[in-house]
Every structure is written in C-alpha cells, then in structure tokens.
Structure 1
C-alpha cells in the first residue's frame, strides 16, 4: 500500500467527515443567504431608483412651473411698470397744463391790474389838471364847487 492509496483514503474520509458535519448544507445555506441578501439589495436599489426617478420628474415639473410663474411675474411687472410710466406721464402733463393755466391767469390779472393802475393815475392826473385849470380860470369859491362836482362825476363814471 503505497502513499497514494492512503492519500485517497484520507480524501474519502475527509469528504465523508464534511458530509457528516453537513458542511455542504452550511455552504449552500450561506450561499442562499448571500443570494437572498443580494436579491433584497437589488430590489431596494430598484425601489430607490424608481423613487429617484419620481423625485426627478417632480422636481423638473416644479422647475417648469417656477419658470412659468417667474415669466408671468416678469410680464406682470413689465405691464405694471408701463402703467406707472403712463400714469406719471399723464400726471406730469396735467401738472404742466395746470401750471401753464395758472401762469396765464396771473399774467392776465397783472395786465388788468396794470391797466387799472394806469387808468387810475390818468384820472388822478386829469383831475389834478382840471382842478389847476379851473382854479386858474374861476375864482376861489366857484372853483371849489365845480371841482367837487367834477370829481364826484369822475368817480361815479369809474365805478
């Protein structure tokens, strides 16, 4: 009996011991558990991937909505700015028109005041001249009466 025979017998006894101790079952069980764990991890990864895709789609939808809302806000702001500019222009034009009208009224009043002042001075000068002429031509007592009458008539015509 040579060494090869004893090596073969040792191998058979070793394999029998492994089967007796149920090593192949334990290896199969460990492999099955590992396969189940990998299967669960793959399922979890698939679920996470689907959730990630749903979140991505939701965020893209929200981004599109936000872009649309931002465009609407910009458009509304532009319309409001145009409205404010139009209102400001209209109010400015109204203000300028009011100020122009007020200035024209002040100028017209100043003209009337100047004309009335010139007339009043002309009347004063005319009355003074008439009084001087009357006092030179008429005696003292008659000139006073004539002067008072003339002055009363002129004042009546002025009013």
Structure 2
C-alpha cells in the first residue's frame, strides 16, 4: 500500500514538473490513487459516518421535536390568520351587502321622491289651471256685471233724461196750449166726474 501511495505522489510530482515520475515506471493514464483517512477509511466513509453521528446527536438533543413544534406553531399561526382572514372577509361581504342594500334603498327612495315631486307638481299645475280658470270666469262675470250695471245706469240715466225732456216738452206744450179758461174747464170737468 505504501508503494501505491508513493507512486501516486511521484506521478503528481512528475505532472507538476513535466518529467517522468521514475525511470521504468509507466504512466497508467488517468488513474489516481484515492486518498485515505489515517490510511484505512476513504473520504466517503468519513463523511457518511460524520453525517450519521451529526444526525444521531440532533435526534438525541430533540431537534426534530423542536422543528416539529416550531412547524406546528407556525401552522397554528397560519390557521389563525386564515380564520381571521375568513372572518374579515365575511365582515367585508356583510358590509358590502349592507352598503349595496343602502344604495339600492337610497335609489328607490330617490325614485319615489322624484315620482312624488312629479305628482305634486302635476297637482299644483292642475290646481293652478283650475284656479286660473275660476279667476277668469269670476273676472268675466265681474266684467259682465259691471257692463250690465253700466248699461242699467245708462238706461236709467237715459230714461231720466227722456222723462225730464218729456216733462219739459209737456210743460212747454201745456204752457203754450193752455190758458186760464182752458184750465177752468178742465177743473170743472174733473169735479163733475167725481
């Protein structure tokens, strides 16, 4: 075994210097001797053994239990956060529904108010038209009454003027046609008729 280690060392030294390792020693191509730990264990065995020892120490100290506990705690936190998120989502959905209902109610109320305002406006317009028609009829009646009163006053005034004119004309006729002797005959005739 010592020979193979020596040959490997010579071979490496020859590669570095570019010379042949030893006279009469042939190069075996790319074959190298595998290093050994303390001359009996290859590095793969050492690494495997140290990993097994490390894992055993970790199991002995309870590291998997700590990791599982940490993961369980983290899972519990995530579940709590998910439950809180579900609760918040449900509350948000309830608020959204409530506000949607309020908006729909407000739109319905606004439509009802608008319809009510239209009906009131139509009622006011109808009442105003009725009132205007009544005022027009009343004014026409008042105008006709004034015209009738004016006609009556004019007729009365004309009658009074005609009566005054007739009385003046009769007075003039009587004064011109009657004398004292004619009056005496009329008075005698009136007394005789009694």
What's the TM-score, normalizing by structure 2? 0.60
How far apart, in 2, do the equivalents of 1:62 and 1:138 lie?
109
Note if 1:109 corresponds to 2:144.
no
Runs of 4+ in 1 over 6 A off after TM superposition: none
Unaligned 5+ segments in structure 1 are: 143-159
Deviation digits for residues 110-154 of structure 1, max 9, x if unmatched?
A: 011111111222222333334444445567xx6xxxxxxxxxxxx
Equivalent position of 2:37 in the other structure: none
What is the count of residue pairs matched by the alignment? 141
Q: Greater CA radius of gyration, 1 or 2?
A: 2
Equivalent position of 1:149 in the other structure: none
- Map 1:1-159 onto structure 2 (within 5 A): 1-2=40-41, 4=43, 5-136=45-176
User: What is the CA RMSD across the aligned residues, in angstroms?
Assistant: 2.7
How far apart, in 1, do the equivalents of 2:68 and 2:42 lie?
33
**C-alpha displacement of 1:12:** 3.4
How far apart, in 2, do the equivalents of 1:50 and 1:59 lie?
14
Q: Mean alpha-carbon deviation: is it higher for 129-138 or for 85-94?
A: 129-138
Q: Mean alpha-carbon deviation: is it higher for 85-94 or for 55-64?
A: 55-64
Equivalent position of 1:150 in the other structure: none
How far apart, in 1, do the equivalents of 2:175 and 2:163 lie?
18
Unaligned 5+ segments in structure 2 are: 1-39, 181-194
**Is the partner of 2:71 in helix, strand or coil?**
helix
What's the TM-score, normalizing by structure 1? 0.71
Q: Larger RCO: Structure 1 or Structure 2 (Cα < 8 Å, ≥ 6 residues apart)?
A: 1
